[in-house]
Structure 1
Amino acid sequence: MNCIYFKFIGLHFQTKLHITLNKLFFSHSTVSLKNKCGSKGPPWRVMFFGNDDFSVKSLQILTSKMRTQTIISKLDVVTTSKGNSRHVRHVAKEEKLNIYDWPVTETCLNGNYDIGVVVSFGQLIPEKIIKCFPLGMINVHASILPRWRGAAPIVYTILNGDLTSGVTIMKIQPRRFDVGEIVRQHSCTVDKDETAEELKRKLADMGGRLLVDCFKELTRTLRSAVPQPETGITYAPKVDKSMADIDWNATDSNTVYNKYRALCGIWPLTTTWHGTTVKLLKLCKYQISNLEIQLKPGELLYDKQRHKLAVKCGGKGGYVSIEELKIPGHRPMSGKDFFNGFVYMKAENERKFDSTLR
């Protein structure tokens, strides 16, 4: 009886000792982690860097989480006075967030924030600023990196006819854009008729939600980041207005249509009609049924049954239909109206668009 009692006491003591040691070890580990990163832990203090309408969705989603004080306790905003920053400023003012103009100083950052979040900011952030954040800085990028590193990933996704896209959240490294370790990625399909503007809205929402997922287990998520693959790297530099010009001789119908989908929210495609620059406001893919028709690139065909004005394309061929266009001095008009008012009176060999190359 005594022997059993002493064994029970010993087991009870062993269990208590084990639990106590575990508590001490866990407490020590937690303190070490906090000391190491210089952060107070969740809920996190966040400085948001954004500069256009793509940034807004992430800012709105983070703000909604900040209101609950669960994973985010503080949210301030850095933006510039250039471009479309008015969208970010408007949301920040509505939500009564503190707004700082870029560039910011180390003084206003040191000790006040745990992490920096960058969404479509367009500025290279110096190393001294990155180091002000104990957990570093992360960026929401609108592509599946390393594909489409650069300023215009959505435009180049559509321009090249990609069937998939997505969002990458990565760590920011100094001196170079879009090369940091991947924290999270999520992909989506791209519809064959989807425009860059439509894809932008979809990816903006996806990026904001993926960002919140990162914050739920932030330190573990950051530790699990992996380097970007060394293969499959492509670049998406800034978009130039000359990209809207059409070379009918060299460009097939798929390329013209993808160019329209990629640029329609930025610039209309341009061509030339007897020396006058014409803006093509809306295009569609067009399948011609009469295979006997032989046209040269740029030449126009009017389909009386479908009331469609089609243009023959070069390269691998094909046609696009002109749904809406604009000539200087005239209101936007349909392809049918353009045919009746400008094309019909011309001889058949003069019914053509010329390539516009800058």
Structure 2
Amino acid sequence: MRIVFAGTPAPAVPSLEALIASRHEIAAVVTRPDAALGRKRVVTPSPVGSAADAHGIPTIKAAKLDDDATARIAALQPDLGVIVAYGGLVREPLLSTPRLGWINLHFSLLPRWRGAAPVQHSLIAGDITTGVTVFHLVPALDAGDILAASEMVVPPLATAGTLLDALAIEGAAVLVDVVNALGEERTTAKPQKGEVTLAPKISLDDARIRWNDGQDAVLNRVRGVTPEPGAFTLIAGSRLKILAAHRAESHSLLQPGVMRSIEGDVSVGTATEPIVLTRVQPAGKAAMNATDWWRGLRTDELRTDS
């Protein structure tokens, strides 16, 4: 089949690469415009755009799928549109432009975690299973009929970054199977069933640790917002990023938000057992081991602002 692929970030690249390696033709790749990155603000193509360039595939760089993007896609006469984390909505008439419409690879088991940040919300919620879903795109948010899904157990120490990497690989294989089946007219779509939960874009406030939560909830939040935007707490109004943490082995209890060095570990109290900070980044400084940061403070105890 002749396919138009829409995607932007690194987790969409395995799907693009898998489709390139398949028997189908990628007529064009749609991705978000180049962006200024890093301290030097170097204008850089998206990961999907870079992958397309490496394979000599034409790109359509569009901040949104407007009339111009629709006309350019329609001129390609695609059989199928495939979207993986593009970062924008597909509306009519573009939705009906490909002969077989559009399919979407989503990084959750729908209808759980519809929205922009399913992996992050899944980890914050403490889900023990997750997965990927390929479904027909419809105007309503992530609500189309399911063509295929694959379940995965969440690794105990997974962060949003590592889990998304794993789901991206699994999802690419499922996606190609669905595309092959569509080309051979042997697909069966099923309506979504179960409780709908929403996964809106993660905000900075989502990344702020709530020390009045229990140990599990605090660690789930840290993992769910790692690497971006990064968990943090405030100490005397200054932000301390928490890059890595784990359960405390000591049975010493601390009040929520109270920090002390216990048996050489930087421990912080929660509503239940403490957690141990292992790597942190103070405001305006480089990342460092938490013990080195604490040693430089020359204090016995700190209290967070929350």
Q: Would the TM-score normalized by the shorter structure come out above 0.5?
A: yes
For residue 337 of structure 1, report the CA deviation from its aligned partner: 2.2
Q: Which runs of 5+ in 1 are unaligned?
A: 1-43, 66-70
**Structure with the largest fraction of helix:** 1
For residue 327 of structure 1, report the CA deviation from its aligned partner: 2.5
User: Is the CA contact 2:20–2:26 (under 8 Å) kept in the aligned structure 1?
Assistant: no
Q: Choose which of 150, 173, 176 in structure 2 pairs with 1:212.
A: 176
What's the counterpart of residue 193 of structure 1? 157
SS at match of 1:215: helix
What CA distance in whole angstroms lies between the structure 2 residues aligned with 1:236 and 1:253? 23
One-letter amino acid of the structure 2 residue matched with residue 334 of structure 1: N
Instruction: Give 1:330-345 correspondences, 5 Å limit.
Output: 330-342=285-297, 344-345=298-299
SS at match of 1:213: helix
Q: Which structure's CA Rg is the greater one?
A: 1
**Structure with the largest fraction of strand:** 2
Kindly provide the CA deviation profile for residues 263-294 of structure 1, in whole angstroms up to 9, marking residues without a partner as x. 121023222334433222221121323xxx45
What's the counterpart of residue 79 of structure 2? 114
One-letter amino acid of the structure 2 residue matched with residue 308 of structure 1: D
User: Is the CA contact 1:106–1:132 (under 8 Å) kept in the aligned structure 2?
Assistant: no
What's the counterpart of residue 77 of structure 1? 29
One-letter amino acid of the structure 2 residue matched with residue 180 of structure 1: G
Kindly provide the CA deviation profile for residues 148-180 of structure 1, in whole angstroms up to 9, marking residues without a partner as x. 000000101111111111110000112x22000
User: Is the CA contact 2:213–2:270 (under 8 Å) kept in the aligned structure 1?
Assistant: yes
What CA distance in whole angstroms lies between the structure 1 residues aligned with 2:81 and 2:303? 50
- Give aligned pairs, total: 293
One-letter amino acid of the structure 2 residue matched with residue 352 of structure 1: L
What's the counterpart of residue 134 of structure 1? 99
What's the counterpart of residue 178 of structure 1? 142
Q: Which runs of 5+ in 2 are unaligned?
A: 36-43
For residue 74 of structure 1, report the CA deviation from its aligned partner: 4.0
Kindly provide the CA deviation profile for residues 53-72 of structure 1, in whole angstroms up to 9, marking residues without a partner as x. 1111100111111xxxxx31
Most deviating of 90-99 and 277-286: 277-286
1:328 aligned onto 2:283: yes
User: Is the CA contact 1:78–1:101 (under 8 Å) kept in the aligned structure 2?
Assistant: yes
1:272 aligned onto 2:234: yes
Q: What RMSD in Å do the two structures reach over aligned CA positions?
A: 2.1
1:235 aligned onto 2:198: yes
User: Is the CA contact 1:280–1:325 (under 8 Å) kept in the aligned structure 2?
Assistant: yes
For residue 108 of structure 1, report the CA deviation from its aligned partner: 4.2
One-letter amino acid of the structure 1 residue matched with residue 303 of structure 2: F
1:310 aligned onto 2:267: yes
1:164 aligned onto 2:129: yes
SS at match of 2:260: strand
For residue 341 of structure 1, report the CA deviation from its aligned partner: 2.2
**TM-score of the superposed pair, with normalisation by structure 2:** 0.89
User: Is the CA contact 1:287–1:318 (under 8 Å) kept in the aligned structure 2?
Assistant: no
1:60 aligned onto 2:12: no
**TM-score of the superposed pair, with normalisation by structure 1:** 0.76
What CA distance in whole angstroms lies between the structure 1 residues aligned with 2:88 and 2:299? 53
What's the counterpart of residue 6 of structure 2? 49
Kindly provide the CA deviation profile for residues 130-153 of structure 1, in whole angstroms up to 9, marking residues without a partner as x. 211111110000000000000000
* Aligned CA distance change for structure 1 residues 223 and 311 (closer, same or farther; 3 Å): same
What CA distance in whole angstroms lies between the structure 2 residues aligned with 1:241 and 1:94? 34
Kindly provide the CA deviation profile for residues 105-142 of structure 1, in whole angstroms up to 9, marking residues without a partner as x. 33642572111001111211112112111111100000
User: Taking every aligned residue pair, what percent have the same amino acid on both sides?
Assistant: 28
